[in-house]
Structure 1
């Protein structure tokens, strides 16, 4: 009895002591515990996603791959798998599992090491959201206290959802929905039971149990979970048997992009980073761009086709590199295959051109090895026969007669497969290109391509390259001249020019591309035929200061321009985006618009937090004559917007160009296509197209910029290293075909509508040789557009207003 009383007394005192210790720990730790209520407003680190205007995903950015799901969207089968793996009593306990804790304590006492820890899902939520991963008793007490508090404040579904979306699962995947996409390339609702069990087994050891880094450990853990699910009655024995025999199907999947538009996505990423800083990567922004899904893909293919076509004209440059062995014996080749495959897998595919290694040569073809271990044959007629060697930009070597004249065993080359699944020898072009297309009414970027392939070069030539536009700049010089009083019929002498200018490094003797001189030339014809000497003399007569004062209307920064006569030939650098924005003014009737890419930004919950409101051209506004009172009426769309509560009208774009000057320069640029350097664009069979080629000295740069009222597009071709394109390469041969391929689709739904004649414009017959009014019945006379106050004087009359013009009082005669 004495022993019994001592034992009871010891038990009582120990219990009281334990209570006092626990109370002390609680009083010590509880004031330092974080506020569990913050879990209701927790912001998961979720990557930014970038979409086209149609909602196609084109980019995902963020260190942590995460795709949060609410509880009611989580499959019950996965819930069962996770409960079987981690906490089958989750929906019944109050945050802690006493049996699990006792089991953990017994493991510690018996083995001297910390075992499973007895953590419930709730305790893991406490640890993941509030605590560190250090394995100490103090952290464990905090975890227990937080778990109890979490259970008091949140329901079971909310706690499970927090765990589901936060836990780390390897390969930068956080949360099971993100892991599902990383390992299986699809959402968790689309997975099989075995795949659910595989994911449920990862949290115990993310680096070891994930099916990519540790397939064996992952398989063992998966099958144990399936067995637990059968024991707990979640699945039948038959279902268990089928699931454990399912092979591992996991593989690493990147973001599931609808299609590749890397340059556009990268532009959006940079703008978001400028707006929101590092939060852009973590706050789950959904960024909707102005990019058209269809036209972006058309633009990318047009650039690829154009560059490959150019590249074929200049010859085969040989393999990208030679891989070992140097001795081409069958034994050496076999021994090197694993090394070759590793090299191929590390070599990115560029614009659909795959890397391959030559493994055999025959009289009528070659065999190449692909990165997926396949061997394919390329026949002599499929790229080998045509592979005349590149010598210079202006010459190629003789056509090869045998495969060994083109390649050797161990060469790393490029191949592509056509629609008929036939393989061809190819090469990644060394030349580059850019294309930018805008909606001229508001500056929305419809498509943008910054090079042959983002995999090959991340440098965005559409926005970052500063290149000389050459004759692509001339429309702005001619617009300035028309605005200053020149007419499309004004004569300027096409004759040699010699300029002594220190900024031009001494004596400058520019020439026309043809090397010929044509004498007095009307400005319309000079721009149509891109006559350099007329442009220089025109700038001499206009004055450089007037040009610099005028070009700011198109978005150019005149302070960056070197004030000399070479400006007439487009020697000042600009990016394709700057050029296309300037051409938008020509396309939209004379209004300044700013290019923009981001249309809308939604937060993680889909709530809009930004909506672009760009200054927009009002097409249906009343056509008050420009240069008078500047009045503009609202369009019906704007009137309705103003009358709608809570909806404001879009700001109107500012007119920066006389409407009549805009009309005349447009009519000249239409002649560029019908009669001038852009005649290839006639293949589109439209009457409403206008544009201008551009080719710089070398030639180093080839351009074409063109438009109708709905789409304005600029295409550029050149080498990053500023090497010549070749003496037979011009804007009309290198850049214009890219523009045509793109615009054929971009204009498909755009009506072919001629531009309306604005008020204050008259059309009169002139003598094409003198630019003066034609005499009645004169043979060879032609029509020309003039501003009403700039109509030329009659041939037999002088003028007391401006040289070569007459006043409005004489307009009645000789019109038409």
Structure 2
């Protein structure tokens, strides 16, 4: 064997074809873990293909270097890639044992094997290993070789390099390890998977036995360091008797907000080297708030399951918490258990918000109808007929049958409509807003129709109409447009859909009036952020997750661009924009403060301080011909946070009789916000709303004559016979 390595020395100094070019090591880009930090600077997770943190040559701790050299290659600074004495000793021991028991490889040989060769134990592999080691020594300095070794060595638990190993076993940097801890990690070099729980071979031995083996290896390293006089006798004894305690696996790569981290991964996986680039990702998430949100949702779901064990497996939920000023995401809980389901209910689930969507209809009503004092604006509260389509009859939108309130109140103002979440009143209000919008748009639509006069007449002529008949059809179309008929449904609903989009609702909203009471699907994140303009003076803000991303040397890789606030309700008249926002803030406060408000129960635990909230219960399916609850919501704003909570079943089926947003979602918010509320904290007043002289006796705006029995237009195109 010794003669074989002598031959290898001469071959290494010649040109040998077929071997890797060691010069390319200079271009080697080692995979490095990327770490994710919360808003408080704490580690909340990481991304990695190989878990590694690079140590530069001048960053290798001296005590770690001495432990490696004493254990693996005491002549490292004296040999030229292979150590003849070590080879001879290993060969003799192999001969005595009559099997391969000792390798005698230098650090450089180990590096060559790990980088270029297979791990099989054959003389041929050792021969090529020696050649590569000698060539590496010719090309690189000892410090460069040591740095490569320190960063490339596998040390168990999926961690490569001594820095990653220090963090996974002891939760600290390698420079902060004690002598005993450094020796412990070095002792794992020859059996790196000794403490890796998911290794199949380790299941045959108890952890206690394997840990005792690791401690023996640590003591062996200390003994070798003492022999080489790298440590004193006192240092040896203290390290020998030091109590070694290692952390549970994966502690170094916490996953404290898995749904949030997965959103970051999906957003940047094609743009940045998340798994290999050693990035430092600084986020907006607050770990303490995240934990509170997770606990509150878990408790809320457990209470629901106790009432409905038949739905235990299907019950799902989500919580989103945003900073009220910046819309930075402070918490994102996309479900109860990411490891059971990676589906993120906070951003992926499209669900009907029910009454939680009503504030957008109220804001539009304030914009297009109620432009003066809110106290003077009243509308009908009675069953509202909706056409189900030609020949399918009518469906009546009704109010929820509260046990302690009248089903219908005749006429109501906006405060009662929103606080008591009256569906029928909201539909009457929405119809008035739609008609006001149509009236504003009629001149534009008539002008557009006039510009297409020749085109429309030609269309009817192609259908076989006479010139007089085609002209007559065009005139009838024009008259219908002047009454708001034959419009594109998308255009007819822009009074609501555009306002909601400006606020932050990006999901497709259906062009039907029932969207005003939440019949279109949205996700939790977007509707929560879209509520913020109601309390900040009327300005839209975009939710954000990232504050900055840097490389391993803290050079900026991605700096977030924060868009300036954009007026939501009226971009041309900022005073009007603020008026609408201030009214909306007061309306949403009434949901909590009015005794009949659907979220008034919050005042039991929080008698002071401002809340602006809206509950929601969607009825997106029927049983025995009756609509049943499928989605429970609450969106609640405080002077610091915007919080959205959703609870429902994965199959969008019945949650159960009288399971509402107030019953399921509100208690989750109630528990979450505990300890985060500052007593007497108020929203800022950004617009003074003048009161009427006698609001209690204010004369209501005359309701539209058709409010109680409005005409239902069939806007489908009809095929007519030629005239």
Q: Same fold (TM over 0.5)?
A: yes
Distance 1:503 1:87 in 2: 88
How far apart in 1 are the matches of 2:363 and 2:110?
A: 70
Alignment map for 1:109-120 (pairs within 5 Å): 116-120=102-106
1:304 matched to 2:298: yes
- Bigger relative CO (Cα 8 Å, ≥ 6 apart): 2
Q: Does 1:521 align with 2:412?
A: yes
Q: Is the 2:157–2:249 Cα contact (8 Å) retained in structure 1?
A: no
Matched, 1:445 2:332: no
**Which residue number in structure 2 is paired with residue 128 of structure 1?**
114
Question: 2:256 maps to what in 1?
Answer: 260
- 1:346-399 CA-to-partner distances (Å, cap 9, x unmatched) read xxxxxxxxxxxxxxxxxxxxxxxxxxxxxxxxxxxxxxxxxxxxxx79xxxxxx
Instruction: Please list, as runs of the form range in 1=range in 2, the aligned pairs for 1:606-755 lying within 5 A after superposition.
Output: 606-617=554-565, 628=572, 658-675=577-594, 676-682=597-603, 683-686=605-608, 688-697=610-619, 698-708=628-638, 710-748=640-678, 751-755=681-685
Match of 1:461 in 2: 345
- Structure 1 position 542 matched with structure 2 position 433: yes
The answer on 1:492 being equivalent to 2:379 is yes
Deviation per CA, 1:246-287: give whole Å up to 9, x if none: 7875575223367832222232233232433xx311222221
Asked if structure 2 preserves the Cα contact closer than 8 Å seen for 1:711 and 1:747, the reply is no
CA distance in 2, matches of 1:152, 1:24: 13
| 1:202 equivalent in structure 2 | 188
For the 8 Å contact 2:631–2:646, the answer to whether it is kept is yes
Give me the whole-angstrom Cα distance separating, in 2, the residues matched to 1:247 and 1:521: 73
Counting only pairs closer than 5 Å after superposition, residues 283-322 of structure 1 correspond to structure 2 as 283-311=277-305, 314=307, 317=309
Which residue among 387, 399, 405 is the counterpart of 1:512? 399
Cα contact 1:684–1:740 (8 A) shared by 2: no
Q: Name the SS of the counterpart of 1:615 in structure 2.
A: coil
CA 1:541–1:26 in 2, change beyond 3 Å: closer, same or farther?
A: same
Does the 8 Å contact 1:185/1:253 carry over to 2? Answer: no
TM-fit CA distance, 1:579: 0.9
CA distance in 1, matches of 2:127, 2:190: 21
- 1:215-226 aligned at under 5 Å gives the runs 218=214, 221-226=217-222
> Matches of 1:151 and 1:539 in 2, distance apart?
80
Q: What is the distance in 2 between the residues matched to 1:750 and 1:65?
A: 48
Inter-partner Cα distance in structure 1 for 2:86 and 2:8: 21
Q: 1:90 to 1:527 in 2, by over 3 A?
A: same
Q: What whole-Å deviation, never above 9, does each CA across 1:636-687 have from its counterpart, x for those lacking one?
A: xxxxxxxxxxxxxxxxxxxxx8232222222222222211222233343445
Question: What do residues 514-555 of structure 1 show as CA deviations (whole Å, max 9, x unaligned)?
Answer: 372211222333122211111112233333523234332223
In the aligned structure 1, how far is the partner of 2:681 from the partner of 2:517?
34
**Counterpart in the other structure of 1:325:** none
- For residue 691 of structure 2, the aligned residue among 742, 752, 763 is 763
TM-score (norm 1): 0.66
Task: Find the residue that maps to 2:629 and give its secondary structure.
Answer: coil
Question: Could you tell me which residue of structure 1 aligns to residue 500 of structure 2?
Answer: 551
More helix by share: 2
The normalised TM-score by structure 2 is: 0.74
| Cross-structure match for 1:371 | none
**Paired residue secondary structure (1:78):** helix
Mapped to 2, the partners of 1:209 and 1:726 lie a distance apart of: 49
**C-alpha displacement of 1:586:** 2.1
Report deviation, 1:474.
0.5
Cα separation, partners in 2 of 1:550 and 1:463, compared to 1, 3 Å: same
Does residue 1:67 correspond to 2:89, yes or no? no
> Aligned Cα RMSD in Å?
4.0
Mark the runs of 5 or more structure 2 residues left unpaired by the alignment.
Answer: 203-209, 435-491, 620-627, 703-723
CA distance in 1 between counterparts of 2:253 and 2:606 reads 32
Aligned 8 A contact 1:441 1:616 in 2: no
Q: Name the CA shift for 1:66/1:749 in 2 (closer, same or farther; >3 Å).
A: farther
Give the whole-Å Cα distance in 2 for the aligned partners of 1:581 and 1:274: 26
**Cα distance, 1:60–1:125 mapped onto 2, change above 3 Å:** same
Superposed, which structure 2 residues align to 1:368-387 within 5 Å?
A: none
Paired residue for 1:280?
Answer: 274
DSSP 3-state at the match of 1:256:
helix
Q: Distance in 2 between matches of 1:504 and 1:713?
A: 43
**Partner of residue 602, structure 1:** 550
